[in-house]
Amino acid sequence: MQHVKYRTRDRCMIREIAIEQLRVGMYVYDLNLAWQAHPFAWQCFLIEDADMLRKIVDSGIARLEIDNELGVDVGVTDAKQEPEVQNEPSSAGPTIIAKLSPAEQFDFARNLYANANRLMQGIMQEVRMGKPVDLAQCQPLVDNILDSMFRFPSTLLPLAQMKTRDEYTFQHSVSVAALSVSFGRVLELPRREIKEVALGGLLHDIGKATVPGKILNKPGKLDDAEFTIMKNHVVRSAELIRAMDGISEIALNAAAQHHERFDGTGYPQGLKGEQISLHGQMIGIVDVYDAITSLRVYHKPMPPTEALQKMYEWSGAHFDPKLVQAFIKGIGIYPAGSLVRMDSDKLGIVREVLPEKILQPIVQLIYDCKRLCNIPPELVDLSASDDRIKSHESFEAWGIDQMHWAEAGA
């Protein structure tokens, strides 16, 4: 795959330093190396321990960039000055996540998700009453989604996948925001730009608050008049977002163009190809992926791998193929939280996917399909195993409780 790279610079918090100045607790913004040339899964990350620090030094680079808002700055050597750990994501302000155990990560992600759904529910209610949307209400939530997606994407994404019919619209908004962070990271966008895309993702469907429930939740096909009303949600979203004080063009375009399609068949403007902003295309891809993999009033969730196959087929017409490939690289062909069947005829839950090893994730084996019995859960890194994934499977078909295993993985 050709490497897709879109980036701009925001120098506010970024400092270029010599390798000798690098310390544990600093947040690497850019290693100034192509991703294939270094041993880390991401270009941006926190240096958590001396081992990570040594790996960077050993890679032979002379200078790199750090983000001094997300990590310690030059001259700070005391580990006590690293960001403090807070386990409860609050809606009052952004939480800086330093070191959390897997169980704490799960609790953090679950609380974040619950808070986010509540906030979106409140915002949509206010929109319904004709009130404007306050950007300050959304900022801490977006910061928390960004922090957790940068630190433990494999915990938040599977949770974001589990939706209920009743709360679909709120849950979908949060899920789209989280997925857009994974997408932005694989495109190597600056963190500030990813944050704006995620904000656009969070707000992309707020116009749906103005669509009558009987149309929004209709189990059957919409007639022409109903479809016209439904389509208008994008125009309403754009109006509401444009009216927000301090909103960026990135966030606005991300939301306003999420139903435009690469071949010009989308709406509301029928934009084509490059006429659609990168950010609008990103939310368009993420929106469709999340919608078809979720439980809806009119369809069952499609397993993530099948959804990605479909989207790959649709790319070229509906989406830019390069972007669909980058999206798949970000979440993996078998995304975290998926149920898979191995060559050994065992079932496992995908626990962690690294962009450079999307076919060889870390899998937790839980069931023996030959003997038809549960097995003691075992974590296997497929990049160091002879076993291979044979197929993706449905939790429902095997009667496996997805939430139980999301929690058990923590």
Residue number, 159 or 203, with CB nearest to Fe ion = 203
- The site for Fe ion, by CB under 5 A, has a size of 1
Residue number, 26 or 123, with CB nearest to Fe ion = 123
**Interface mask toward Fe ion for 220-239; x: CB under 5 A:** --------------------
What is the widest separation between alpha-carbon atoms in the chain? 66
**Span 314-373, contacts to Fe ion by CB under 5 A:** none
Please count the other Cβ atoms lying within 10 Å of the Cβ belonging to residue 155.
28
Least gap, CB of 201 to Fe ion (angstroms)? 11
Chain position carrying tokens 């095997």? 398
Residue number, 109 or 203, with CB nearest to Fe ion = 203
Residue number, 209 or 362, with CB nearest to Fe ion = 209
Q: Return d(Cα 13, Cα 23) in angstroms, integer.
A: 17
Least gap, CB of 207 to Fe ion (angstroms)? 8
Segment contacting Fe ion by CB under 5 A, of 25-33, 204-212, 320-328, 338-346: 204-212
260 touching Fe ion, by CB under 5 A: no
Q: Return d(Cα 281, Cα 249) in angstroms, integer.
A: 14
Least gap, CB of 289 to Fe ion (angstroms)? 13
Residue number, 205 or 393, with CB nearest to Fe ion = 205
205 touching Fe ion, by CB under 5 A: yes
Residue number, 44 or 323, with CB nearest to Fe ion = 323
C-alpha triplet 94, 53, 145: angle, nearest 5°: 20
What's the DSSP call for residue 199? Answer: H
Residue number, 22 or 247, with CB nearest to Fe ion = 247
**Interface mask toward Fe ion for 153-192; x: CB under 5 A:** ----------------------------------------
Contact between 387 and 340 under an 8 Å Cβ cutoff? The reply is no
Q: Return d(Cα 216, Cα 351) in angstroms, integer.
A: 34
Cβ within 8 Å of residue 5, ≥6 positions away: 187, 188
Q: Give Cα 79 distance to the centre of its chain.
A: 30
Least gap, CB of 102 to Fe ion (angstroms)? 34
Segment contacting Fe ion by CB under 5 A, of 112-120, 157-165, 200-208, 218-226: 200-208
Alpha helices in 152-190 (DSSP H): 153-161, 168-186
Q: Return d(Cα 84, Cα 385) in angstroms, integer.
A: 37
67 touching Fe ion, by CB under 5 A: no
Tokens of 123: 């915002």
Sort residue 398 into left (φ over 0), alpha (ψ -120 to 50) or beta: alpha
Residue number, 86 or 217, with CB nearest to Fe ion = 217
Instruction: Name the closest residue to Fe ion (Cβ).
Output: 205
Segment contacting Fe ion by CB under 5 A, of 138-146, 149-157, 203-211, 326-334: 203-211
Angle, helices 153-161 vs 135-151, to 10°: value is: 120
- State the first-to-last Cα distance of the chain, in angstroms, to the nearest integer: 33
Least gap, CB of 205 to Fe ion (angstroms)? 5
Least gap, CB of 237 to Fe ion (angstroms)? 7
Segment contacting Fe ion by CB under 5 A, of 12-20, 205-213, 295-303, 345-353: 205-213
Least gap, CB of 259 to Fe ion (angstroms)? 6
Segment contacting Fe ion by CB under 5 A, of 59-67, 117-125, 202-210, 262-270: 202-210
Least gap, CB of 299 to Fe ion (angstroms)? 16
Q: Return d(Cα 216, Cα 206) in angstroms, integer.
A: 12
Q: Return d(Cα 126, Cα 148) in angstroms, integer.
A: 27
Least gap, CB of 226 to Fe ion (angstroms)? 15
Taken in order 15, 21, 26, 32, the sign of the CA dihedral is positive
Least gap, CB of 204 to Fe ion (angstroms)? 6
Angle, helices 278-292 vs 168-186, to 10°: value is: 130
Tokens of 319: 């989406």
The site for Fe ion (CB under 5 A) is made up of 205
